[in-house]
Amino acid sequence: MKWFYIISIGAVAAMALSPFVLLPGEMLAGLSDDQGKTVSYGTYAAKVRSVDPATAGDTMSASIQGNVYESLYTYHYLLRPPTVVPQLAQDVPDISPDALVYTFKIKPGVKYHRNPCFGVNPDGSFKTRTLRAEDFVLAFKRIADFHLPTPMSLAFIEDKVKGLKEYSDRTRTYDKGDFRRYDEPFEGVAAPDEFTFQIRLAVPFPQLIYVLAVNNYAPIPREIIDYWLATRDDGNGGREAVPLKERSPQISDFRAAVGTGPYYLSRFVTGGDIVLERNPDFGPSSADPNDSRCFYPGEGMSEDQTNGLLADAGKPLPFVDVNRLMYVAEENPAWSLFVGRITDVSGIPNAVFSQVVSPGRELTDQWAKMGIEMITYTDPAVYWYAFNMDDPVVGKSRSLRQAVSLAFDVNRYVDVLFNGRGKRAVNVIPSVFPDSDKLPASPYARFDLPAAREKMVQARKELEEAGVIQPGQALPRLRLDLGGTDEQERRVAEFTKYMFKRIGLELDIELNDWPTLQEKVENKQCQIYAMGWHADYPDPENFLQLYYSPNIKRGTNNTDYSNPAFDRLYEQAARMLPSPERTQLYARLVDMLNEDCPVVLLTEPVSLVLYHDWVHNYKPHPIGYGFYKCRRLDVQQRQRETGR
């Protein structure tokens, strides 16, 4: 019996210590491994869904991919409003007189990451090769590939690039794993020679340059397909062919994420660590020693000069050798890591907001003394409650929509629910866009309860006339669908219910997770729903296209707003290059939307970001991604302050 006790105590002790065996090593253990290297630590809260540029559709994937892949164009790090500058293209493209053919000259000598797909040297290191124009052709072919889910990348160029639908239909005839379809011709893209890339459009598309600044169109070397997708590890150190039926056309292995960017993925665990390490070949080639993408920008805004963001002008990039990102889904622990001086940058959780930020939107002294600095910026995004314009109740009564807009106290909404981190949206275009001051503010985008009540009386009349309700009958209950199920969303729901009730509208609210909401919106099952739009590029057309009726079928116009006068003007404006005339047209379009009120405008989000004083050159970019390379850490200072 004694043995029993001894054994059981021993077993318990062993089991109690098992985590040290079961769990992976210390996340911060890499500190000692990274001797001599500059390491930046950060956290991320949303899982990265894709390492394949063609299929990326969420901001988290885009923010990681932006550092690994590069595209023809990108945005200037410092200039605002966001300005497009060449990245892999040498300069602005040659545009044919009919504005249908764009010719790009590719920078010569740009090297990809070293990767086994290019071959292995005798000493075991991986080879690389230089970028070629045909890699862009392959990138576009993959985006048009029927077998790849590329909704976002495709949405920009569908109907615009010539021959895209034909190519897509032709790829459908191939099996998912049959990559010979990438040898089929695609009329819209061509590589006349090694460093020339051409895009042929079916219709003029002035926003093409902006679209090419999105990372989804990064070049893909054919070797990735042939090595990583068509073959796999055979377990003995070699490669074996993957049977056709088992092949997937999507890049899902992080080692296959081969780009030309300043960093490559050396470790990637979904829902775990992500490590980006410096690409040793990133730098100007001998053919192009002044390659602007490899050096810190020399020009910026006047406040950049005062804030010291131009001190590193002309220096070679990247500064940081290793970026370690940990997955921390909750904001409080992420905050704790920042306060504990482990991570460099952080947002501010709602719970501690009032401790950290004074009512005047400044950092409180206590925090400034800790060597923390704050930066504020407005996102080029607008959030709203959208009406389903085909709905018999809300679609039929303009006064009802206007009444709701007047009754919703957006400033209170921002104060109570977001700690004031938002700007009241006055029309559907973000106020940070250039020339936004020339666009009219909506007369209904203000809080005016008496006016709202008057509008409600009118709304009743309109609904009675339309036969939706009988005179004297109560207004039907309305339905609102939100996209989130957490506590914050619940509060938003309660707040909204309260607001609607004040003008006599009963609201039933349903909290959905994001895929369900998308489905419901797509199937027109919503009456009112919460939605927003983040600018893809700094042109108001990006927001106006949400109300263009042919886009209903295409899926971007979810409100089903259909106004022939709007469509005509939109088509006119969409083909014009930026000019005062175009801005006037935009103003008329915005005016129409202001009156028709297809959405209840809410906020433009304002972000407050904190960073430690050993972080230099930090300036969040509202649209572009891939600027980890510009950040510099003062390692000695961090060592002094934290002992790391």
Partner 1 sequence: MSMSQQTPRENSQLVAPPDSAAPGGVRAGQAGRSLWGDARRRLLRDRSSRLCLLVITFYALLALGGGVYDLLAEHDVAGIPTFGQTADFDQAYQPPSWSLRNLLGTDWSGKSVLAKTILGAKVSLTVGFMANVIAVPLGLILGAIAGYYGKFIDDVIVWLYSTLASIPGIILLIAMKYAFKGVKVLGLDLTGIHGLYIALGIISWVGTCRLVRAEVMKIRELDYVLAARATGQNSLLILLKHVLPNVMHIAVINFSLGFVGAVASEVTLSYLGLGVAVGTPSWGTMINSARMDLFAGRWWELTSAVGAMFFLVLALNIFGDRLRDALDPRLRTA
Partner 2 sequence: MIAYILRRLGFSVLTILGVMIVTFLLFRGIAGDIAAANLGAKATEARKEAWRQSYGYNKPKWANLHRQLLIVDHTIGQPQDRRPLSVEDAGGSNAADALALILSDRPMPGQEGKQGRTAVNELMGRYVYRLSDQTPLWTLTGGKPVANRQEAESRAPTPPASQPASAPATATASAPAPVASSQPGSLPATAASTAPITASASVPTGAPQASQPAITAPTMVFSLADGSKVMVRVDEEIGTAGELLRRINGAPGNSGRLVAAYSRWTPMQFFDSQFFRHFWTSATFQSRSLKDNKPLTQIIRDHAPASLAIAVPALALEWLLGLTIACFVAYYRDSTLDRVGVLLSVLAMCIPFLAFMIFGHWVVNRINPEYAYGQIHRINIYLPIAISVLAGLGGMVRFYRTIILDETGRDYVRTARAKGLPLTSILFKHVLKNCMLPILTSLIMAIPFLIMGNLLLESYFGIPGLGDLMITSINDRNEPIMNGLVFLTGLIWTVGVLVTDICYAIFDPRIRLQ
Interface contacts to partner 1, rule CB under 8 A: 332, 349-352, 354-355, 412, 415-416, 485-487, 490-491, 493-495, 497-498, 501, 509-511
Query: Which tokens hold the place of 490?
Result: 């619940």
559 closest CA partner among 532, 541, 536, 585: 532
How far, in Å, CA of 516 to CA of 175, rounded? 30
Give the shortest CB-357-to-partner 2 separation in angstroms: 20
Q: Which residues from 279-318 bind partner 2, rule CB under 8 A?
A: none
The H or E element containing residue 464 is helix 449-465
Q: What are phi and psi of 609, to 5 degrees?
A: -120, 140
Find all residues with CB under 8 Å of 305, minimum gap 6, and list them: none
Q: In 174-330, where does DSSP find H-type helix? A: 208-212, 222-223, 302-306
Give the shortest CB-137-to-partner 1 separation in angstroms: 44
Interacting residue with partner 2 among 136, 327, 387, 413 (CB under 8 A)? 327
> 131 is in the binding site of which of partner 1, partner 2, none (Cβ under 5 to 8 A by kind)?
none
Interacting residue with partner 2 among 303, 508, 522, 581 (CB under 8 A)? 522
Interacting residue with partner 2 among 36, 238, 340, 580 (CB under 8 A)? 340
Q: Which residues from 405-464 bind partner 2, rule CB under 8 A?
A: none
How far, in Å, CA of 393 to CA of 398, rounded? 10
Find all residues with CB under 8 Å of 141, minimum gap 6, and list them: 167, 171, 182, 184, 186, 189
> 27 is in the binding site of which of partner 2, partner 1, none (Cβ under 5 to 8 A by kind)?
partner 2
510 binds partner 2 (CB under 8 A): no
555 binds partner 2 (CB under 8 A): yes
CA 549 to chain CA centroid, Å, is 25
For partner 2, the closer of residues 123 and 246 by Cβ is: 246
Interacting residue with partner 2 among 523, 564, 580, 643 (CB under 8 A)? 523
Q: Three-state SS for 624?
A: coil
How far, in Å, CA of 54 to CA of 153, rounded? 6
> 15 is in the binding site of which of partner 1, partner 2, none (Cβ under 5 to 8 A by kind)?
partner 2
End-to-end CA distance of the chain: 52
> 98 is in the binding site of which of partner 2, partner 1, none (Cβ under 5 to 8 A by kind)?
partner 2
For partner 1, the closer of residues 511 and 606 by Cβ is: 511
Stretch that binds partner 2, among 129-137, 332-340, 496-504, 576-584 (CB under 8 A): 332-340
> 151 is in the binding site of which of partner 1, partner 2, none (Cβ under 5 to 8 A by kind)?
partner 2
Task: Tell me if 265 sits within 8 A of 324, measured CB to CB.
Answer: no
Interacting residue with partner 2 among 3, 32, 245, 359 (CB under 8 A)? 245
> 467 is in the binding site of which of partner 2, partner 1, none (Cβ under 5 to 8 A by kind)?
none
Three-class secondary structure assignment of 63-128: HHHHHHCCCCEEECCCCCCCCEEECCECCCCEECCCCCEEEEEECCCCECCCCHHHCECCCCCECC
How far, in Å, CA of 209 to CA of 578, rounded? 13
Handedness of CA 354, 355, 356, 362 (dihedral sign): positive
Query: Which tokens hold the place of 1?
Result: 């019996």
Q: In 189-296, where does DSSP find H-type helix? A: 208-212, 222-223
Q: At what angle do helices 580-596 and 398-407 cross, to 10 degrees?
A: 90
For partner 1, the closer of residues 260 and 512 by Cβ is: 512
Query: How much helix, strand and coil, in percent to the nearest 5, is found in the chain?
Result: 35, 20, 45
For partner 2, the closer of residues 20 and 577 by Cβ is: 20
Interacting residue with partner 2 among 348, 521, 531, 630 (CB under 8 A)? 521
Q: How many positions of this chain bind partner 2 (CB under 8 A)?
A: 74
Give the shortest CB-491-to-partner 2 separation in angstroms: 18
Interacting residue with partner 2 among 80, 113, 147, 479 (CB under 8 A)? 147
Pairing of strands 381-387, 599-601: antiparallel
Q: Which residues from 560-599 bind partner 2, rule CB under 8 A?
A: 571, 574-575
Task: Tell me if 456 sits within 8 A of 399, measured CB to CB.
Answer: yes
> 518 is in the binding site of which of partner 2, partner 1, none (Cβ under 5 to 8 A by kind)?
partner 2
Query: Which tokens hold the place of 617?
Result: 């050159």
For partner 1, the closer of residues 148 and 417 by Cβ is: 417
For partner 1, the closer of residues 309 and 509 by Cβ is: 509
349 binds partner 2 (CB under 8 A): no
328 binds partner 2 (CB under 8 A): yes
> 416 is in the binding site of which of partner 2, partner 1, none (Cβ under 5 to 8 A by kind)?
partner 1
Interacting residue with partner 2 among 7, 31, 46, 175 (CB under 8 A)? 175
If you ran DSSP here, which 8-state letter would residue 577 be given? P
217 closest CA partner among 197, 196, 192: 197
> 16 is in the binding site of which of partner 1, partner 2, none (Cβ under 5 to 8 A by kind)?
partner 2
Residue that has been written with the tokens 């079961």 in this structure: 22
For partner 2, the closer of residues 149 and 434 by Cβ is: 149
Give the shortest CB-366-to-partner 2 separation in angstroms: 17
214 closest CA partner among 531, 535, 514: 535
Give the shortest CB-417-to-partner 1 separation in angstroms: 8
449 closest CA partner among 500, 488, 392, 385: 500
Interacting residue with partner 2 among 165, 232, 446, 453 (CB under 8 A)? 165
Residue that has been written with the tokens 């895209």 in this structure: 164
Stretch that binds partner 2, among 107-115, 234-242, 327-335, 436-444 (CB under 8 A): 327-335
Interacting residue with partner 2 among 96, 173, 355, 376 (CB under 8 A)? 173
57 binds partner 2 (CB under 8 A): yes
x/- mask, partner 2, residues 83-112, rule CB under 8 A, reads ---------------x--------------
Stretch that binds partner 2, among 456-464, 486-494, 512-520, 590-598 (CB under 8 A): 512-520
| Residue 122 CB neighbours (<10 A) | 5
Give the shortest CB-23-to-partner 2 separation in angstroms: 5
Q: Which residues from 183-202 bind partner 2, rule CB under 8 A?
A: 187, 202
Give the shortest CB-497-to-partner 1 separation in angstroms: 6
Give the shortest CB-58-to-partner 1 separation in angstroms: 21
